[in-house]
């Protein structure tokens, strides 16, 4: 709420009012479409777009984030509730409100405990794979409304799509198909040639007028129908502990995925406007907006990429623009609902399809392959699994998260270990990268690129002993500890035994460039005194000088491959 004082500036207020109205023109039809995607009556999208955007703007930290119904959260809401009740039924509506409350409570708890970092468990490859699959699932879930045929659900989503296509071959309702095609052409055409015109609003108005004039509903076309007039009242949904238990996993996933979407766009806008963003405060704002949605006949909401972009591009300066957006939705609920009676469901389906079309991107997967092939594999597995097991898409993202964590653990268990030698510019380089570099049979230099903990301590020991066996005349082994950021008790224990074992072989164990955390650990355990403080050096050169001094005057250091080659 730090922006409230800025509203004394008339220019700020004017800019926010214009931006708020602009976003509302997109939000009204879009929210109705997303409510349909969630399996709810279209007007529930308006309810979720009334108070939640205001609450998120007031209690969050982002100034331009536009909160409300979004495609991915709507799809996950439908997935969560479908096994529990019939879409559109009283039970389904009550569970939607309860789900919003659970999502909100979980997000607030994360924010209060300052656990916003949990969203980092959703790695970029997982998000890319899940988003691509989700976009395809969302788009194909609207095919029955585009063709005007009944939706015959299969066990998996792809089976449902096959059933719809088979039904559409013989039973397509042509007026519905033409209405969807017209809406798509209007939105694509205006976006390309007249981008400043609200294309979604124009498509909605045009097809609604056309449906009214031609008697679209009388010919078998499906329309939104009657929408209750007035603002939503506060209500507390009934709680069934068994149902809550079934929804708990979905609530956690929706909370994390929704917040991930919100914080991603919020960070991008904060970088553009150079404003401070508090992820934990944003969690609280998003959580309160979801609780508000649950109390006022809405369903789970989140920050929207598309509407946030519209908001900032329209000149929004503070969160007051979202307050204006909510007020405009309230006016629509009070006075404009009769005008939406003839709005074709095919138009809403077209709005959804075009909204998610930009989410299908192959480029990030290719980029991930170039950066790290294993990450691309995780993205592809998440994508394929999410598509295959839909509508149970939550398992796709869970498997992706597990794979990412497993990859992280595997990488940290086997970090890069490099034997070093002096390069011609005086630096120490990996001899596997520069095989022309010579090594010493008396002194070996090893770099361990990772923290030393229980999962890789044995690996570290094996690599050191492997180096010992490589050089029978070895007298000193120097560990470059620059990359060892942390060391747990297992790592310290291995280090202790390794030093003793090398000592029995008449090999001195020396460490250079240690981090402060490393030194604090060995001081507390007494390992520093056991090995000897003179065996720890702040620079590699100091460690080499110590080794050369230990070898005595008979050793000609000028012939050592580790000597300085430039002065």
Give me Rg for the CA atoms of the chain: 31
Structure tokens at 545: 């000088």
Q: Look up residue 428 and give its DSSP letter.
A: E
Q: What is the mean pLDDT of residues 9-18?
A: 89
For the chain, the residue count is 567
* Cα distance between residue 227 and residue 209, in whole Å: 17
Q: Indicate the average pLDDT of the chain.
A: 90
Q: Nearest-CA neighbor of 400 among 125, 41, 60?
A: 125
Alpha-carbon distances, residue 181 vs 215, 346, 352 (angstroms): 18, 9, 13
Residues sharing a CB contact under 8 Å with residue 81, sequence separation 6 or more, in sequence order: 39, 87, 92, 95, 96, 99
DSSP-derived secondary structure for 367-385: HHHHH-HHHHHHHHHHHHH
**Helices 241-273 & 90-112 angle (0-180, nearest 10):** 50
- The CATH number given to 417-559 is 3.30.750.24
**Helices in 38-116 by DSSP H: which ranges?**
43-47, 52-59, 71-81, 90-112
User: What's the pLDDT score for residue 513?
Assistant: 94
**Helices in 172-304 by DSSP H: which ranges?**
174-193, 199-214, 241-273, 279-295
**Residue listed under structure tokens 């000028």:** 558
pLDDT above 70 covers a percentage of the chain that reads 98
Half-sphere exposure of 201 (CA within 13 A, CB side): 12
In tens, the pLDDT along 465-509 reads 999 999 999 999 999 999 998 899 999 999 999 999 999 999 999
User: What's the pLDDT score for residue 1?
Assistant: 65
8 Å CB contact between 269 and 64: yes
Q: What is the mean pLDDT of residues 286-298?
A: 95
Alpha-carbon distances, residue 372 vs 2, 123, 187, 380 (angstroms): 42, 13, 38, 13
Q: What is the mean pLDDT of residues 35-47?
A: 93
8 Å CB contact between 390 and 156: yes
**N-term to C-term CA, the chain:** 60
Highest mean pLDDT pick, 87-101, 390-404, 525-539: 525-539
User: What's the pLDDT score for residue 401?
Assistant: 87
Is the pLDDT at 237 greater than 80? The verdict is: no
DSSP-derived secondary structure for 131-162: HHHHHHHHHHTTHHHHHT------SSHHHHHH
Alpha-carbon distances, residue 555 vs 419, 439, 541, 550, 552 (angstroms): 22, 15, 17, 9, 6
* Local confidence band at 565 (pLDDT 50, 70, 90 cut-offs): low
**Residue listed under structure tokens 């209690």:** 59
pLDDT above 90 covers a percentage of the chain that reads 60
Q: What is the mean pLDDT of residues 115-133?
A: 83
In tens, the pLDDT along 498-539 reads 999 999 999 999 999 999 999 999 999 999 999 999 999 999
CB burial of residue 126 (10 Å; 0-12, 13-18, 19+): buried
8 Å CB contact between 300 and 293: yes
8 Å CB contact between 160 and 152: yes
* Cα distance between residue 482 and residue 562, in whole Å: 18
DSSP-derived secondary structure for 471-482: -TT--EEEEE-T
User: What's the pLDDT score for residue 334?
Assistant: 92
* Cα distance between residue 518 and residue 435, in whole Å: 31
Is the pLDDT at 319 greater than 80? The verdict is: yes
Q: How far is CA 3 from the centre of its chain?
A: 27
User: What's the pLDDT score for residue 198?
Assistant: 84
Is the pLDDT at 566 greater than 50? The verdict is: no
In tens, the pLDDT along 334-383 reads 998 898 999 999 999 999 998 888 788 889 899 989 988 999 999 999 99
Domain range summary for the chain, segments of one domain joined by +: 22-360+372-406, 417-559
Q: Kind and range of the H or E element at 512?
A: strand 508-512
Q: What is the mean pLDDT of residues 209-213?
A: 94
Neighbours of 316 (CB within 10 A): 31
Residues sharing a CB contact under 8 Å with residue 303, sequence separation 6 or more, in sequence order: 56, 62, 65, 66, 67, 70, 258, 261, 262, 263, 265, 266, 286
User: What's the pLDDT score for residue 567?
Assistant: 36
* Local confidence band at 88 (pLDDT 50, 70, 90 cut-offs): low
Helices and strands: H and E segment counts in the chain:
23, 8
Residues sharing a CB contact under 8 Å with residue 278, sequence separation 6 or more, in sequence order: 61
Q: Look up residue 194 and give its DSSP letter.
A: -
3-state secondary structure of 40: coil
Q: Nearest-CA neighbor of 437 among 455, 456, 452, 418?
A: 418
Is the pLDDT at 86 greater than 80? The verdict is: no
């Amino acid at each position: 709420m730090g922006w409230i004082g800025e509203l004394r500036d008339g220019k700020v207020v004017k800019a926010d009012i214009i931006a708020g109205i602009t976003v509302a023109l997109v939000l009204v039809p879009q929210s109705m479409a997303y409510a349909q995607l969630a399996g709810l009556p279209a007007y529930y999208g308006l309810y979720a777009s009334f108070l939640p955007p205001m609450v998120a703007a007031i209690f969050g930290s982002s100034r331009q984030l536009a909160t409300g119904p979004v495609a991915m959260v709507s799809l996950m809401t439908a997935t969560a509730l479908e096994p529990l009740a019939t879409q559109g039924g009283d039970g389904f509506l009550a569970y939607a409100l309860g789900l919003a409350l659970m999502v909100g409570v979980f997000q607030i708890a994360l924010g209060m405990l300052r656990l916003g970092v949990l969203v980092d468990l959703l790695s970029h490859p997982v998000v890319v794979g899940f988003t691509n699959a989700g976009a395809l699932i969302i788009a194909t879930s609207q095919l029955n409304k585009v063709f005007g045929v009944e939706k015959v659900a299969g066990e998996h989503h792809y089976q449902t799509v096959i059933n719809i296509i088979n039904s559409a071959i013989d039973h397509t309702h042509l007026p519905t198909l033409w209405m969807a095609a017209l809406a798509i052409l209007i939105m694509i055409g205006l976006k390309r040639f007249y981008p400043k015109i609200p294309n979604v609003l124009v498509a909605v108005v045009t097809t609604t007028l056309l449906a009214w004039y031609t008697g679209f509903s009388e010919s078998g076309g499906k329309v939104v129908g009657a929408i209750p007039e007035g603002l939503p009242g506060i209500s507390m949904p009934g709680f069934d502990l068994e149902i809550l238990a079934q929804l708990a996993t979905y609530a956690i996933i929706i909370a994390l995925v929704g917040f991930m979407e919100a914080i991603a766009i919020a960070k991008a806008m904060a970088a553009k406007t150079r404003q401070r963003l508090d992820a934990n405060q944003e969690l609280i704002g998003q959580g309160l907006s979801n609780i508000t949605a649950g109390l006022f006949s809405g369903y789970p909401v989140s920050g929207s990429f598309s509407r946030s972009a519209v908001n900032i591009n329209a000149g929004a300066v503070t969160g007051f623009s979202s307050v204006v957006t909510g007020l405009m939705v309230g006016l629509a609920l009070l006075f404009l609902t009769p005008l939406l009676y003839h709005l074709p469901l095919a138009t809403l389906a077209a709005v959804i399809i075009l909204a998610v079309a930009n989410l299908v991107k192959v480029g990030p997967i290719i980029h991930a392959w170039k950066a790290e092939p294993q990450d691309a594999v995780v993205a592809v597995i998440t994508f394929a699994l999410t598509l295959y097991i839909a509508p149970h898409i939550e398992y796709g993202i869970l498997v992706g998260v597990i794979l990412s964590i497993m990859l992280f653990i595997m990488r940290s268990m086997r970090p890069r270990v490099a034997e070093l030698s002096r390069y011609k510019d005086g630096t120490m380089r990996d001899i596997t990268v520069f095989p022309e570099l010579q090594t010493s049979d008396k002194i070996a230099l090893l770099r361990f690129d990772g923290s030393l903990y229980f999962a890789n301590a044995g690996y570290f020991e094996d690599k050191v002993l492997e180096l010992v066996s490589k050089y029978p005349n070895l007298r000193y082994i120097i560990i470059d500890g620059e990359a060892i950021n942390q060391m747990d008790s297992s790592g310290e224990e291995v280090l202790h035994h390794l030093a003793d074992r090398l000592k029995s072989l008449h090999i001195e164990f020396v460490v250079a460039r240690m981090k402060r955390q490393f030194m604090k650990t060995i001081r507390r355990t007494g390992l520093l005194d056991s090995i000897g403080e003179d065996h720890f050096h702040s620079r590699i050169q100091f460690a080499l000088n110590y080794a050369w001094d230990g070898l005595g005057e008979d050793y000609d250091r000028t012939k050592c491959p580790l000597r300085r080659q430039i002065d």
